[in-house]
Amino acid sequence: MDLFSPQDAPATWLVVATGVAALAVTVPRRVWLLARNAITIAHEGGHGLVALAAGRRLEAIRLHSDTSGLTVTRGRPTGLGVVLTLAAGYTAAPLLGLGGAALLGAGRVTLLLWSATALLLAMLVMVRNAYGILTVVLTGALFVLVSWLTGPEVQAVFAYAVVWFLLLGGVRPPFELQSKRRRGGAPDSDADQLSRLTHVPAGVWLAFFHTVSLSCLIGGATWLLAL
């Protein structure tokens, strides 16, 4: 299996259809509550990856059945490292989607599937609760099954659907957080923790999350649709 050989993109109507399917998973609340687990994996994985890159010690990752999560790191309680770690959560799914769109735009479907599998395997090592382990294992198994048991056409459609979901699904959580904060909830959200650390209002951090997610969606869609 050649990870770096380009593959032909599916027909434009299939690319559009995968985007519509991802939107249909993202918008209805009942479906979203289940599908959001995948965004939570990306969110907590983003915290963990950036924490390691910033020189912090990654202690544990937990994923919960209500689609919330927790990443525990050790290091200086202030400074750039902890700021980057906190900022990585809500931006992780959109940025992963943008990176995936870049790979698909270059025809690297196989590379995308196996890169995602490798990231899930690396994350699994740090997950410390049963539900989290189950979620990551099932997600990773889906990528492996598609990579091994299906043909190039099915792999491409699956990869496009995943990337569309990361891009579209990455837009919704900042709006959900904004709604919770408006009702007085989520006092220890990433935005509020960042506000206390940087003395920048939480609303500015929310605007940053919105800007990243929407920019990634626009840029990613441009690559996926070959505009």
d(C-alpha 214, C-alpha 23), whole Å: 14
Specify whether the CB–CB gap between 169 and 36 falls below 8 A: yes
- Token pair for 209: 């999350």
d(C-alpha 105, C-alpha 108), whole Å: 8
Report whether pLDDT(77) > 60. yes
Categorize the per-residue pLDDT at 4 as very low, low, confident or very high, splitting at 50, 70 and 90. Answer: confident
Q: How buried is 119 (Cβ within 10 angstroms: 0-12 exposed, 13-18 middle, 19+ buried)? A: middle
Q: Tens digits of per-residue pLDDT, 85-131?
A: 999 999 999 999 999 999 999 999 999 999 999 999 999 999 999 99
pTM for the whole thing?
0.95
Q: Containing H/E element for 72?
A: strand 69-74
Q: Containing H/E element for 73?
A: strand 69-74
- Token pair for 50: 């950036």
- Token pair for 12: 């434009």
Report whether pLDDT(214) > 80. yes
Tell me, what's the pLDDT at 204? 98
Considering just the CA atoms, what is the radius of gyration of the chain in Å?
A: 17
d(C-alpha 113, C-alpha 7), whole Å: 13
